[in-house]
């Protein structure tokens, strides 16, 4: 049996998992009707999506991680009260409340699962990837997290435990990846370039310095 720990918080929040495809279909249909009636500008929708995917989202989280790497006092604050620490950088809004930061270390790697959109901190990580909301990802990550990570290209030492956190609408997680070696002297902006969305979910690691440039 693999050496990992699963933290489930109010597992009943996930009883709508099997209705995701139906809900997505309803949203698509509604968008189509609104656009056909001229009530919604397709360009406006695209702009919102782009903002959350590339501007508001992962870059905000990357700045939080980079500051935690650079500033021990901020890292300590992030551990104690992630919601307040993140808000101090101006990152608040949709699903950005009730945050908890979990820090990767040599002995422990953290992985976050959830299948409800309300469990994902949009203001910090942007739009949730499709696979993140899939029931198969959550169930497999809980049962075989090491195998799931391997499929993402992440191979961890057998001595490193994996802790799986079940995000809910009441508590959302941000993984703080380990700071890569060879980053001494780099600015926070440079460090932020090494932080990917997947590394803040736990399905990836921070990039090596040469990869982030």
Confidence of residue 49 (pLDDT cuts 50, 70, 90): low
Residue 118 is a catalytic residue: yes
* Structure tokens, 95: 């699903």
Residue 92: per-residue pLDDT: 63
**Catalytic pick among 119, 123, 167, 199:** 119
Q: What's the whole-number mean pLDDT along residues 166-176?
A: 89
Identify any residues that bridge with 111 across adjacent strands, giving them in sequence order: 164
Q: Any residues with CB less than 8 A from the CB of 52 and at least 6 apart, and which?
A: 122, 126, 127
Task: Look at 123 and 83; give whichever has higher pLDDT.
Answer: 83
Residue 35 in this model has a pLDDT that exceeds 70: no
Q: What's the whole-number mean pLDDT along residues 49-68?
A: 73
Determine the longest span between alpha carbons in the chain, in angstroms.
58
* Distances, alpha carbon 174 to alpha carbons 38, 61, 85, 166, 183, in Å: 39, 8, 12, 12, 21
Residue 209 in this model has a pLDDT that exceeds 60: yes
Q: Would the pTM of this model clear 0.85, i.e. be above it?
A: no
* Structure tokens, 138: 């959550």
- Average pLDDT score over the chain: 79
Residue 119: per-residue pLDDT: 73
Whether 156 and 149 have beta carbons less than 8 Å apart is answered as: yes
**Catalytic pick among 21, 70, 88, 117:** 117
The full set of domains in the chain, from first to last, is 4-212 (3.90.330.10)
Task: List phi, psi (to 5°) of 5.
Answer: -130, 140
Task: List phi, psi (to 5°) of 169.
Answer: -65, -20
Q: How do residues 136-153 score in pLDDT, each as one tens digit?
A: 898 999 999 999 999 999
Residue 88 is a catalytic residue: no
Residue 190 in this model has a pLDDT that exceeds 90: yes
Highest mean pLDDT of the ranges 121-125, 131-135, 183-187: 183-187
**Catalytic pick among 21, 70, 88, 114:** 114
Whether 95 and 170 have beta carbons less than 8 Å apart is answered as: no
Highest mean pLDDT of the ranges 42-51, 126-135, 172-181: 172-181
* Distances, alpha carbon 12 to alpha carbons 51, 76, 80, 173, in Å: 32, 32, 27, 18
């Amino acid at each position: 049996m693999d050496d990992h720990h699963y933290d489930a918080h109010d597992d009943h929040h996930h009883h709508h998992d099997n209705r995701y495809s139906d809900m997505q279909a309803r949203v698509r249909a509604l968008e189509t009707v609104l656009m056909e009636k001229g009530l919604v500008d397709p360009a406006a929708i695209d702009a919102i999506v782009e903002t959350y995917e590339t501007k508001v989202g992962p870059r905000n989280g990357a700045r939080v991680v980079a500051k935690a790497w650079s500033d021990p006092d901020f890292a300590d604050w992030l551990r104690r009260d992630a919601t307040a620490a993140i808000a101090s950088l101006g990152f608040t809004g949709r699903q950005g409340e009730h945050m908890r930061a979990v820090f990767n270390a040599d002995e422990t790697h953290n992985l976050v699962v959830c299948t409800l959109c309300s469990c994902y901190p949009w203001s910090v990580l942007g739009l949730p990837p499709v696979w993140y909301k899939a029931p198969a990802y959550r169930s497999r990550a809980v049962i075989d997290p090491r195998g799931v990570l391997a499929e993402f290209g992440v191979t961890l030492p057998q001595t490193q435990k994996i802790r799986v956190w079940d995000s809910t609408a009441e508590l959302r997680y941000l993984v703080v990846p380990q700071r890569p070696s060879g980053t001494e002297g780099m600015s926070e902006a440079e460090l932020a370039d090494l932080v990917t969305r997947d590394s803040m979910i736990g399905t990836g690691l921070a990039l090596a310095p040469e990869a982030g440039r």
